[in-house]
């Protein structure tokens, strides 16, 4: 089966690698986003997908606007591909492109559609406290993740999973599901299923204000926000910005979802008898980090990152800043 692959971030790499090594598929080339300037040296850096494509000596196209690039469109059409596979490419495909391959364009989407259509399904599903995540393969149409579904797979979201960890797992699930989809599609063993748009929810792009923490919110909601939008959620500490990159909600309600050493904290530190105002450090867990009062419940800060510094453990943060009970971390009122 002749395949053209469209994708850009790390999430798409597993699928491309799977297609390249599979004897049933011939990857004719890769379409990815243009290189971007990144890092302190402001150097032009290729996308993760392009790096793999070059290592595999595959042709690469990087149009600024694919649907307006007549030369690239003509070259893609001349390939006479059986299928275009699209995984987090980052540009909308025009109807002209969708109509090119014989079997259509197959998208690997990081949610259990019709839930979480849009650009940030993995981040939004964690931030919203969902219990499971998944992958849907679908036939693409002109809408935003509205095409008929082909196959789906789901996995549980663990309490301490963050978006980076979940994306790595789902990328592997998606690669396997895509191969199964293409094989069954060629054999006509899949009946595409239209989505129920009445059940649809959306996962829009992350905005700057989404990263701001408000300590008056519930501990579990803050925890989900921090791990869902990892690693960029911020509060303020001693008049400077402080990223909070890993937390754990503390309390009997979370039971076996927490590691044993975190389950024991409530009793060991007599946390049921402590309280403070939102954002206040009400206790310090030895070897772990500060425990902060929220609008409802307590939140243990396991990892933080001060401006211009590397990520550090909550315990190193306590020691390095000589943090004490009663100190207050500020949040943002939105």
Q: Which residue has the tokens 């926000």?
A: 225
Residue 89, number of CB atoms within 10 A of its CB: 22
How far is the C-alpha of 211 from the C-alpha of 332, rounded, in Å? 10
**pLDDT given at position 157:** 98
**pLDDT given at position 321:** 96
CB-based contacts of 36: which residues, under 8 Å, 6+ apart?
Answer: 44, 45, 47
Number of C-alpha atoms within 13 angstroms, CB side, residue 283?
Answer: 23
Q: Per-residue pLDDT tens for 114-126?
A: 999 999 999 999 9
**Which has the closest alpha carbon to 110: 192, 168, 197?**
168
Contact status, residue 191 vs residue 149, Cβ threshold 8 Å: no
**Which has the closest alpha carbon to 127: 201, 203, 197?**
203
Residue 114, annotated as binding a ligand: yes
Residue 121, annotated as binding a ligand: no
**Which has the closest alpha carbon to 292: 306, 301, 284, 281?**
281
Residue 111, annotated as binding a ligand: yes
Burial grade of 24 (CB within 10 A; 0-12, 13-18, 19 or more)? exposed
Residue 101, number of CB atoms within 10 A of its CB: 21
**pLDDT given at position 86:** 98
How far is the C-alpha of 262 from the C-alpha of 300, rounded, in Å? 9
The model's pTM is: 0.95
Tens-binned pLDDT, residue by residue, of the chain (334 aa): 999 999 999 999 999 999 999 999 999 999 999 999 877 778 889 999 999 999 999 999 999 999 999 999 999 999 999 999 999 999 999 999 999 999 999 999 999 999 999 999 999 999 999 999 999 999 999 999 999 999 999 999 999 999 999 999 999 999 999 999 999 999 999 999 999 999 999 999 999 999 999 999 999 999 999 999 999 999 999 999 999 999 999 998 998 899 999 999 988 889 888 999 999 999 999 999 999 999 999 999 999 999 999 999 999 999 999 999 999 999 998 7
Residue 112, annotated as binding a ligand: yes
**3-class secondary structure per residue, the chain:** CEEEEEECCHHHHHHHHHHHHCCCCEEEEEECCCCEEECCCCEEECCHHHHHHHHCCCCEECCCCHHHCHHHHHHHHHCCCCEEEEECCCCCCCHHHHCCCCCCEEEEECCCCCCCECCCHHHHHHHCCCCEEEEEEEECCCCCCCCCEEEEEEEECCCCCCHHHHHHHHHHHHHHHHHHHHHHHHCCCCCCECCCHHHCCECCCCCHHHHECCCCCEHHHHHHHHHHCCCCCEEEECCEEEEEEEEEEECHHHHHHCCHHHHCHHHHCCHHHCCCCCCEEEEEECCCEEEEECCECEEEEEEEEECCCCCEEHHHHHHHHCCCCCCECECCCC
In order of start, what are the domains of the chain with their CATH numbers? Answer: 2-199 (3.40.50.170), 208-321 (3.10.25.10)
**pLDDT given at position 316:** 98
């Amino acid at each position: 089966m002749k395949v053209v692959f469209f994708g850009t971030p790390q999430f798409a790499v597993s699928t491309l690698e799977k297609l390249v090594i599979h004897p049933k598929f011939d990857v004719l080339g890769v379409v990815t986003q243009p290189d971007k300037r990144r890092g302190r040296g402001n150097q032009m850096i290729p996308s993760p997908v392009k790096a793999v494509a070059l290592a595999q000596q595959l042709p690469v196209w990087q149009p600024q606007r694919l649907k307006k690039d007549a030369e690239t469109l003509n070259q893609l059409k001349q390939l006479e591909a059986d299928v275009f596979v699209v995984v987090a490419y980052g540009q909308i495909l025009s109807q002209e492109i969708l109509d090119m391959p014989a079997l259509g364009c197959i998208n690997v989407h990081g949610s259990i559609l019709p839930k979480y259509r849009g650009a940030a399904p993995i981040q939004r599903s964690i931030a919203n406290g969902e219990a499971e995540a998944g992958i849907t393969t679908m036939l693409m149409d002109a809408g935003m993740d509205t095409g008929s579904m082909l196959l789906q797979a789901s996995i549980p979201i663990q309490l301490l999973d963050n978006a980076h960890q979940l994306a790595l797992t789902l990328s592997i699930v998606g690669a396997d599901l895509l191969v199964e989809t293409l094989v069954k599609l060629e054999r006509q063993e899949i009946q595409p299923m239209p989505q129920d748009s009445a059940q649809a929810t959306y996962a829009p792009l992350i905005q700057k204000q989404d990263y701001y923490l408000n300590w008056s919110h519930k501990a579990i909601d803050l925890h989900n926000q921090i791990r869902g939008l990892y690693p960029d959620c911020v509060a303020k500490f001693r008049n400077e910005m402080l990223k909070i990159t890993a937390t754990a909600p503390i309390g009997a309600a979370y039971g076996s979802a927490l590691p044993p050493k975190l389950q024991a904290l409530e009793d060991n530190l007599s946390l049921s008898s402590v309280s403070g105002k939102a954002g206040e450090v009400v206790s310090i867990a030895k070897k772990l980090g500060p425990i902060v009062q929220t609008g409802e419940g307590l939140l243990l800060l396991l990892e933080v990152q001060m401006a211009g510094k590397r990520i550090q453990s909550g315990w190193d943060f306590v020691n390095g800043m000589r943090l004490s009970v009663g100190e207050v971390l500020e949040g943002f009122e939105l």
